[in-house]
Amino acid sequence: MENQTTQSTFRVGILQCDEVRESFRADHGDYDEMLVRGLRRADPALTYQVFRVFENELPEDVRVCDGWITSGSRYSVNDENDWTTALCRFVQALGVESRPYVGICYGMQMMAKAFAGKVQLAESGWGIGVATSDLQETQPWMVPVGDVVRLLVSHKEQVTALPECMRRLAGNRFCPNGIISRGRSMLGIQGHPEFCKDYARSLMEFRRDIIPPARLEQGLESLAQETDSEQVFKWIVRFLRSASMLP
């Protein structure tokens, strides 16, 4: 994986579940573009197909792409509407057929919900800024790896009950289920490796009226910390490629 140019072409289906607010888009791009930027740095050989799921655009088949990644979203996986229900069924199908899947934030929560986990408003409140999770179980695709992983987060819901078919790989006191997996084909990450600090700051400032002042201040101050976003994108690529090789 160190020599990225030797990697074979791999088509990633991006299941986009929201769009960046127009006032932020000129500076930061849309959510699919954020994901592509991070993935491309980790592996230039990847190609992409975007499905705007929140506008009822879903793939016809789980094999249209070699692997899948679901974006974050301001919406809830518990919403009752056509596209949320359709996405849940699609994620279930990916799991049943062991197709490579990575869920980011909302995408991780959907992965848990699709297999009878619980996603609820967190009693601990908003998760914002840079969060540090303790790595509890290492995997072969976690290269490089340390004791902790630091990522930007932005969520008020989290996975509160893990499905029996899933394992916790990383977490912290605030969000115990920070990184989860289902077998060797599905990976969920509550944090946002695709976010940059400027975008995270803009989101926090935009939500100033709904985030408690003390929590907002903590979140903004945490932006002084370094993140492991680049490392996590390498993990994601390794995971997707290794999962695609499963029998």
Walk me through the domains of the chain, giving residue ranges and CATH numbers: 4-244 (3.40.50.880)
Length of the chain: 247
Q: Which residue has 């929201």 as its token pair?
A: 18
User: What does the alpha-carbon distance between residue 52 and residue 85 come to, in Å, rounded to a whole number?
Assistant: 14
Q: Which residues of the chain have pLDDT under 70?
A: 1-7, 247
pTM of structure: 0.95
User: What does the alpha-carbon distance between residue 48 and residue 151 come to, in Å, rounded to a whole number?
Assistant: 24
pLDDT by residue (tens digit) across 9-43? 899 999 999 999 999 999 999 999 999 999 999 99
Secondary-structure breakdown of the chain: helix, strand, coil percentages, each rounded to the nearest 5: 35, 25, 40
User: What does the alpha-carbon distance between residue 145 and residue 162 come to, in Å, rounded to a whole number?
Assistant: 24
Predicted pLDDT at 1 = 42
